Structure 1
Amino acid sequence: MKQRLILSALTVACAGLVACSSTPSKPEPTALSTFKAEFAIAPSWSLSLGEIAGPLAASVHSNRVALTSSAGRVVLLDGDKGQVLWQVQLDAPVQAGLGGDGQRFAAVNVRNEVLALEAGKVLWKHALPASTLTAPLVAGGRVFVMTSDRAVTALDGASGRELWRYEHRGSDALVLRQAGLLMAVGNTLIAGLGGRMVAIDPDQGRVQWEVAVGSMRGTNEVERLVDLVNPPARDGQTVCVRAFQSAVACVDTATARPLWSKPMQGHQGLGMDDTQVFAVEGDDKVQALARADGQPTWTHEGLRFRGLTAPLVLGRSVVVGDAQGYVHFLSRKDGHVLQRLSTDGSAIAMAPVVVGQTLVVVTRQGQVRAFNAQ
């Protein structure tokens, strides 16, 4: 089996520089500007979960959200009140998760084992041949896992028995140390394998179609890394994705037809509403693109170098967290600041999510904070 080297976003960024030390200097974060709050937002509840050290994700289903700490504490919470519905402490740290369908959830630990969870208990474990940083996808009574060797494995949700395994024959030897694209659209499994969006039959593991999203650039393998990153933005059959430091593109998954592609550097996933796609660029400019053709509609430069998360569309806002623990609400119409809130001062660990009517953010220190917008 061909071995692949997993690289962080910082390593890839350094590859483009003439000289890059082990501790490269970063530009100073842009100072926050004053603004006039255009709506009220109030704390709802909070929970101390435990440190979030890697690219973990929330699993949201109606008014419930499942979360895991890096140390392996998994909780299912009621989004309205923050009540713990069940919890379990795993016997090894978690490196990828959490995925779920509302009843059954899955994570991958540092031993490269998939663990299926239900009602606060571990149902089964399945050993993987390679590591992964992408949360498992739980859908249709199965658990799907995409590993760093660019293979996708389907497991039976009740027993963990392997149903099939698809191995991508890409020639690229490097993999980004970041969660990749793995999602369901109808009865099709969509995976980001290299710079390609690949549709797989979830029953048989056969490829149905492929669409190139990222275009390789540069002369070495680090510069040519174009993995598709999580989270994608989806509305019906339209899925928009980012190819790492390469492009933002939208694809009609019903016809396997690329709708448009725009060169853009950046490493975070996307948000989308009915008319625009929202993206964070590599220097943390927030940009809105017309959903029809990818043309820029507005750019907000007031949060540059603040270490932003992927954007969330919420009401009339585009919501992003930053590395100083702030959560920013920008106008979907023109990008001006509508509201801002602070948490515990540590970085927002993942893209904010909406659980029922509640906004939930998670910090690197493991504080889960919920807010109600008025």
Structure 2
Amino acid sequence: MSATLRAAWLIALLPLFAGCSTIGDWFDWSEEEDPRKPAELIDIDTRVTVDRLWSVSVGDGQGKGLYKLQPVLAGDMIYAASVDGQVRAVERNRGRTRWKENVENGLSGGVGYYDGNLYLGSADGEVLRLDAGDGSVRWSARLTGEVLAPPQGDGQVVVAQTYDGKLHGLDHDTGERLWSYDSNVPVLTIRGTSTPILRDGTVYAGFANGRVLAFDALTGAVTWEARVAIAQGRSEIERIVDVDGTMAIQGTELYAASYQGRVTALDIRSGRKLWQRNLSSFSGVSQGFGNVYVADDDGTITAYLRNGQGVRWEQPALGFRELSRPTPVSSYLAVTDYQGYLHLLSQVDGEFVGRTRVDGDGARADMLADGNVLYVYGNSGKLVAYEITPRD
């Protein structure tokens, strides 16, 4: 079992089993005995050049709380936030800091962006709306629990998901709460929540009970509900089916993956399942080249055909290395791991084409790509831009 997942489960278990003398035995494996020991890196045939364009430091990065604060691209800027409250606006081409602000709150979720506004969530349950021009706080609103994913806005509503299983809709101008939805939270969950998608007046959100729901953004009314995973097994650990990773939309199709469940394609208009495949993932899905990409929790990266007709390729060489969500960049696919290595694969066949190390503390936040430039935010706070080009 990977170190991150062990820690995530322990965080979920401790409130329930405080004082239990046997809990340590469940996770007391030596490196030699651990069936989920991370794979050693293999030598690869490097076929791309990975040039670092610039690097900046953003506060304490992810800190020690298993957070996954992720940056966001908007126009000629990239915005990033750290667990200790630093928010930084960086010119994406040169890496020059346009402004830097520190908010009083310890941040745990972000960064969301819409039309000159930034949205952040705090560990003590606050959502903040900031002016993207200078970092000033427009308003803050108190919610019911820790915000572990970027809130999203559309000029009318700001939506935020909290770790207690709730989804909240807030008035964009004032932060006043308009509605809340309370899901059925299982006994045990992985630490994290999915990032809501807000599009054309509809909110799409995944929950720890293995379901994805669509809501009317203004009223919070549920328009459809789909089950991505069904809890199975006798123990509560075996029954964990969180939809925690990033979802993706392409056209009228929504792709979502759950832990110990499935990757599923849904029709965004009705919630009808178009296809599904069994897997276990907590980092989420992406799409490109007619594929849907998922990193299984066992470290296997799989490219599923978008039409649901099967698997284009699999890459198992990064076993149990706690991979990030796969991110397409140009004709390649990028993933990072718990040691901070950036791995580049061909989108065509899944073969490795390049590798570099970004951050010795690891990198788990979703990466960003624009053309052949990739932006990686390491756990220690390093925000780095790389240009990926084929070798002659």
Same fold (TM over 0.5): yes
Match of 2:276 among 247, 257, 261: 261
Q: Which amino acid aligns with 1:108?
A: G
Output the CA distance in 2 between the equivalents of 1:12 and 1:291.
35
SS at match of 2:121: strand
Q: 1:39 aligns with which of 31, 45, 48?
A: 48
In the TM superposition, residue 290 of structure 1 has moved relative to its aligned partner by: 1.4
Q: Work out whether residues 324 and 336 of structure 2, in 8 Å CA contact, stay in contact via their aligned partners in 1.
A: yes
Q: What is the deviation of 1:233?
A: 2.2
Q: State the Cα deviation string for residues 264-309 of structure 1 (Å, max 9, x = none).
A: 1222111211421111112111111111116222111221122211
* Distance change in 2, residues 1:127/1:272 (3 Å): same
Indicate the residue corresponding to 1:362 in structure 2.
377
Q: How many residue pairs were aligned?
A: 366
Cα distance change, pair 294–177 in 1 and its aligned pair in 2 (3 A): farther
What is the letter of the counterpart of residue 164 of structure 1? W
1:294–1:223 CA distance, 2 compared to 1 (3 A): farther
Give the Cα separation in 1 of the matches to 2:24 and 2:379: 32
Q: Provide the TM-score with structure 1 as the length reference.
A: 0.90
Query: The residue matched to 1:344 in structure 2 has which SS?
Result: coil
User: Partners in 2 of 1:203 and 1:79 — Cα distance?
Assistant: 33
2:196 is equivalent to residue 182 of structure 1: yes
1:109-135 CA distances to partner (integer Å, 9 max, x unpaired)?
A: 222111111121111111112223122
What is the CA deviation profile of residues 230-281 of structure 1, one whole-angstrom value per residue up to 9, with x for unaligned ones?
A: 2112212211111122111111102321111111122211121142111111
Secondary structure of 2:235's partner? coil
Please point out which of 80, 83, 97 is paired with 1:70: 83
The aligned counterpart of 1:4 is none
Residues 1:47 and 1:233: Cα distance change in structure 2 (over 3 Å):
same
What pairs with 1:1-374 in structure 2 (closer than 5 Å)? 9-11=8-10, 20-21=26-27, 25=31, 26=34, 27-51=36-60, 52-53=62-63, 54-118=67-131, 119-168=134-183, 170=184, 172-193=186-207, 194-293=209-308, 295-355=310-370, 358-374=373-389
Indicate the SS of the match to 1:305. coil
Contact 2:164 2:185 in 1 (8 A): no
Gaps of 5+ in 1: 1-6
Partner Cα distance (2:118, 2:194) in 1 = 18
**CA distance 1:237–1:143, shift in 2 (3 Å):** same
Give 1:3's aligned residue. Answer: none
Identity percentage over the alignment?
Answer: 25
Query: Structure 2: any 5+ residue segments left out of the alignment?
Result: 1-5, 14-22
AA aligned opposite 1:71: D
More strand by share: 1
Question: What TM-score comes out, normalization by structure 2 length?
Answer: 0.86
**Bigger shift: 277-286 or 171-180?**
171-180
Higher mean Cα deviation, 130-139 or 20-29? 20-29
For 2:90 and 2:193, the matched residues in 1 are separated by 23
CA contact (8 A) 2:151 2:195 kept: no
Find the aligned partners of 1:142 and 1:60 in 2 and give their Cα distance. 20
